[in-house]
Structure 1
């Protein structure tokens, strides 16, 4: 009986051990998903495969080179991905690494869409130029660092006030992550595409540029015409009214907030720029 108890205890201990390790790896993968670290993981797998092949074929020179990469690789990873590691440690310190957000993601999504649409509608009627980038899976940390940190809850009033002309933060892009305005006055890469209409200005080129290097959604309010446009994946959709903008944001942000598997195929609406 005692042996059976010990066996049961050992099985339980192994199960708990495996479950904890699995959960930590799962949280780490969710943390780095959509960031440059994913590409790093792919590179590590390629290096390991090359090392195994060189070992099987007795390629000594290749083995020596790969061994040096393995020895110095962890140090290079710490240096190159210091922001991601720091963010993971901060989440562990706040306790959010092992907890879930209690607020309904559907409620957060509705609040985000409502705030953005109302703000864009207000600025469009008054010809206030604006450039708003919404982070999705691709990490926008590099572009956030070019601006002024805000870290304020997204509201119609705050978003509108940032773009009031002749204020310190109105020139540049606002970057939003979930329901937080992360930074303002950020610099975005300008598109070099020759297919962009000559009548469009720097804001539209910046919106196209960021859509070419990330999966972010960017909204532009024209200072000259008051028209609202939107970019994603290198596509520009112009002259959006309030309903079209709402539909577009919901169709493209819902998967990030509620993880709905039926929304993997993005449904874009509106008039596409030729």
Structure 2
């Protein structure tokens, strides 16, 4: 009986550890997919999936030549992946070294949130009144490092003065997009992917197409100030809200950047202020 009890205990422990093992594997896979979401690596995963399906099909239907060709692709694919995605692999290793592999973003609270929103509001209002074209992308969960690499790295604190000066015409950094990560202006003069949608209004130019293009492949918030009209717009999830007033811009940006709770708090403050003045 004692032997049977020991065997039962060992089996139960092994089941628990096996269950934890599976959970950890799924968690790591989920985090890796979160890290590469919206990057070139997603297309790589799609390609790998197609190759695996094709390899299974060649085995089933006994297509010897195609099976041999796919086997060569699989054999040398790992080396090709390392070469092609060397920048992404380097960044991942750097994050591991800093202990930041699984920590993508941290939400700023209280006064810091207010400071960031005020800086954005002040700079956008200034540029809209003077019809200074601007394109500002705010990183959320999807990494924007591949777009940062196309521009000039800055790693500067966010301020309205800095954002305004970047987009002043005929300056070295005004042509392109600014990328913001957390509370830093990470880079300026960055190139963003243009949307290829056939449903975009013909009156929208390259700046708006770039904003929509980035919002289609990432979860970034993209702020646009039109150089022709001074209109303020926000693009997110492949959709664009145009001709926003400054108050509407502030409410929407706060909601998208910091969550619905912050948006409702600000709305109640504005409502209270309006009643007081009325």
Whether the 8 Å contact between 2:104 and 2:141 is mirrored in structure 1 is no
In structure 1, how many angstroms separate the alpha carbons of the residues matched to 2:236 and 2:13?
A: 54
Instruction: Give the deviation of 1:221 after TM superposition.
Output: 2.7
- Tell me whether 1:25 sits opposite 2:29 in the alignment: yes
Q: Provide the aligned length of Structure 1 versus Structure 2.
A: 251
Contact 1:154–1:179 (Cα < 8 Å) also in 2: yes
Do 1:208 and 1:236's aligned partners in 2 also have CA atoms closer than 8 Å? Answer: no
Structure-2 change in CA distance of 1:18 and 1:134 (3 Å):
same
In structure 2, what is the Cα distance between the partners aligned to 1:104 and 1:136? 10
Q: Is the 8 A contact 1:174 1:185 kept in 2?
A: yes
Give structure 2 stretches of 5+ with no counterpart.
Answer: 263-278
Which shifted more, 18-27 or 69-78? Answer: 18-27
Task: Please say if residues 146 and 186 of structure 1, whose CA atoms lie closer than 8 Å, have aligned partners that are also in contact.
Answer: yes
- Does 2:92 align with 1:92? no
Aligned to 2:47: 43
Conservation of the 8 A alpha-carbon contact between 1:113 and 1:246 = yes
Q: Residue 160 in 1 paired to residue 169 in 2?
A: no
Q: Residues 208 and 231 of structure 1 are in contact (CA less than 8 Å); yes or no, is this contact kept in structure 2?
A: no
Q: Say whether residues 1:244 and 2:276 are aligned partners.
A: no
Shift of 1:25: 1.8
Matched, 1:196 2:202: yes
Q: What corresponds to 1:14 in structure 2?
A: 18
Contact 1:207 1:218 in 2 (8 A): no
Sort the Cα spacing of 1:15 and 1:224 in 2 relative to 1 into closer, same or farther, 3 A: closer
Distance 1:10-1:232 versus aligned 2 partners, 3 A rule:
closer
Partner of 1:262: none
TM-score (norm 2): 0.72
Structure 1 59/206 Cα, relative in aligned 2: closer, same or farther at 3 Å?
Answer: same
State the match for 2:269 in structure 1: none
Deviation at 1:68, TM superposition (A): 0.8
Deviation at 1:191, TM superposition (A): 7.1
Give CA deviations for 1:12-45 in whole Å, capped at 9, x if unaligned. 5434433433332222111112222122212212
Deviation, 1:178, is: 3.9
Partner of 1:211: 212
Compare CA radii of gyration and give the structure with the larger one.
2
Give per-residue Cα distances to partners, 1:191-243, cap 9 Å, x unaligned: 7989533xx7xxx4233134236535433334565432344577665432112
Q: Aligned partners of 1:164, 1:233: CA distance in 2, in Å?
A: 28
Describe the superposition over 1:65-89 as per-residue Cα deviations: whole angstroms up to 9, x where unpaired: 1101110111121122222222221
Q: Partner residue of 1:143? A: 147
Q: 177-186 or 103-112, which moves further after superposition? A: 103-112
Aligned to 2:122: 118
Runs of 4+ in 1 over 6 A off after TM superposition: 190-194
With over 3 angstroms needed to count, the CA separation of the structure-2 counterparts of 1:183 and 1:13, relative to structure 1, is: same
